[in-house]
Structure 1
């Protein structure tokens, strides 16, 4: 496995690059905007293809690198379903799995620092975001934080993991790089409380100043979504309502870009072809499945995904590949459902 822990000294942020092999798919956790150039250089040096970028929560102390990485690599952006960010490609809930070639991360909803905080368990290690830090815990006094919820997340979720599980947080300000669940149980001063009420009292009396750039960072991180307006102006987008009206038309081929687990959880559209987004470029090249189907039938390829981000990128990829007769459903299946469109389950 390829594992790199990358540090931003300005914000004290750890980002993590993961891949199962050289030349394979890669995932990055909690990227920082100012370090995107460094990430891209490392990806090139290790011969990796970034397919997913994940934020453990809506950060208040640095601008996320999600949008820049998406624009540079066309990767899938991921956050928890509770996130206030406008658009990400995929939203996970507790128990969902984030998968790339050879690796699987189990999403654990661990609110408290914020109401959208997630940790990700991968075998012998857990990425805890700002929920559990090394010899500390994330503050709980803004972004709908809750000391009571954090106590539950830590004591009833994270500390139930095996003692030897390695802990990799999103921040450290003392130079520590890794801990274990067992170490934190024994030596983390904030975890030596006798009750949930004692923990709440401890956290409610920290009296910490707000992060220096919070007023700038939070609005920026809430607007990371890919702007889909230009595609609509070019006639390459269908509103959910227009897409519903076109359901069943013989001149349209619906193409679902979501993963198998998303389709099983949220349903799909009748007659839609399944072509998961990470392989979209190959299917659009000469000899590729979508290109051949479009050429043979003359049908317009209409992509859709969860929220419209992957489908917008697929339209751009199709244009680049010389396939002009495409479009996407604005807002994805989320907008489709909100407009009352029929969904096939199972």
Structure 2
């Protein structure tokens, strides 16, 4: 496996690039906006294709690189389903998996630092965001933080992982790069408590100043969505009400760009085909499935919230497939409008 830990010394943020091998798909966890050029340079040097950019939570101390990476690489942005961000391409919940070629991250909901904090685990390591730090834990006094929830996330979720599991946090201010679950159980002073009340008392007595970037970073990080309105203004969008009428049209085909796990969890539009977003650009070339589908039929692309499908529609139009449009607002808008849903394979 290719694994790189990168550091932003301004915010003390660790970002992580993972891939199964050279030439494969890659993902990045907790990217920082100011370091995007560095990430892209490294990805190119390692011959990797970024397909997913993940944030562990809505950060208050730096501006996320998710939107810039999406705009420059057309990757999928990923956050937990509790996020306050306006639009991310994929929202994941506890028990889900984030898959790329050869790698799958297990999703663990670990609220407490914020109410949208998630951790992501491989068999030998866990990316803990600001929930579990090296010899510390994330503060719980803003962004709907909750010390009791964090105690549960720590003692009933993360600390139940095998002791040898490596711990990679989103921040460190002392120069430490990695720990293990076993080390933190033994050596982390905030974990040497006898009760949840004792932990809450410790966290409520910290009296820390707000992060310097908080007033700028939080609003910026809440608004990272791809501009679907621009795609709509070009006439490349279908509203849910229009889409429902097109379901009965034999000359129209709906194509679902979501991952398999999303389809199984949230259902599909009846009769739609499945072509994951990660393969979509390859399918636009000669002999690609989109060329075959879109030859003489109208194609309506959709995803969870419309971001992936808007990007894919723009790419299809640029490739000369003028019969391709997308479902504005995605499956979320479709459900809100009362559109029919079925289980995949039904």
Fold match by TM threshold 0.5: yes
CA shift, 1:292, in A, is 1.5
Residues 8-157 of structure 1 aligned to structure 2 (within 5 Å)? 8-157=8-157
Shift of 1:64: 0.2
1:216 has 2:241 as partner: no
1:300 alignment counterpart: 298
2-11 or 241-250, larger mean C-alpha shift: 241-250
SS in 2 for 1:248: coil
Contact 2:8–2:35 (8 Å) recurs in 1: yes
Asked if the contact 1:303–1:327 (Cα under 8 Å) also holds between the matched residues in 2, the reply is yes
1:307-342 superposed Cα distances (whole Å, 9 cap, x missing partner): 001100111110221211111001101110011000
Q: CA deviation at 1:213?
A: 1.3
Cα displacement (A) at 1:24: 0.4
Tell me the residue number matched to 2:318: 320
Question: Following TM superposition, by how much is the alpha carbon of 1:166 offset from its aligned partner in structure 2, in angstroms?
Answer: 0.4
The runs of 5 or more residues in structure 2 that have no matched partner are none
- Following superposition, the deviation at residue 176 of structure 1 comes to 0.2
Q: CA deviation at 1:282?
A: 1.4
Aligned counterpart, 1:335: 333
How far off is 1:193 after superposition?
1.1
Runs of 5+ unmatched residues, structure 1? none
Tell me how far apart the structure 1 counterparts of residues 281 and 138 of structure 2 sit (CA, whole Å).
Answer: 40
- Partners of 1:285 and 1:322 lie apart in 2 by 10
Alignment of 1:235-246 (within 5 A): 235-246=235-246
- Matches of 2:70 and 2:181, distance apart in 1: 33
Q: Deviations over 1:214-266 (max 9, x none)?
A: 01110000001101111111110011222122222122111110111111111
- TM-score, structure 2 length as denominator? 0.98
Q: Report the counterpart of residue 249 of structure 2 in structure 1.
A: 249
Aligned partner of residue 27 in structure 1, secondary structure? strand
TM-score when normalising by structure 1: 0.98
CA distance in structure 2 between the aligned counterparts of 1:267 and 1:194, rounded to whole angstroms: 44
In structure 1, what is the Cα distance between the partners aligned to 2:294 and 2:120? 39
Q: Distance in 2 between matches of 1:285 and 1:250?
A: 25
Query: Which of structure 1's runs of 4+ aligned residues deviate more than 3 A?
Result: none
Contact conserved, 2:137 with 2:190, CA < 8 A, in 1? yes
Q: Is contact 2:293–2:299 with CA below 8 Å preserved after alignment?
A: no
1:167–1:181: 8 Å Cα contact kept in structure 2? yes
SS at 1:302 equivalent: strand
Cα distance in 2 between the residues matched to 1:80 and 1:39: 22
Q: Tell me, what secondary structure is at the counterpart of 2:210?
A: coil
**What corresponds to 1:260 in structure 2?**
260
Cα shift at 1:267: 0.7
Cα offset, 1:285, TM superposition: 1.0
CA distance in 2: counterparts of 1:210 and 1:156, whole angstroms: 28
Query: SS of the counterpart of 2:286?
Result: coil
The alignment partner of 1:164 has SS state of coil
- Asked if structure 2 preserves the Cα contact closer than 8 Å seen for 1:286 and 1:292, the reply is no
CA positional deviation for 1:293 = 2.2
Structure 1 residue matching 2:94: 3-state secondary structure: coil
- The RMSD of aligned alpha carbons is 0.7
Equivalent residues of 1:318, 1:326 under 8 A apart: yes
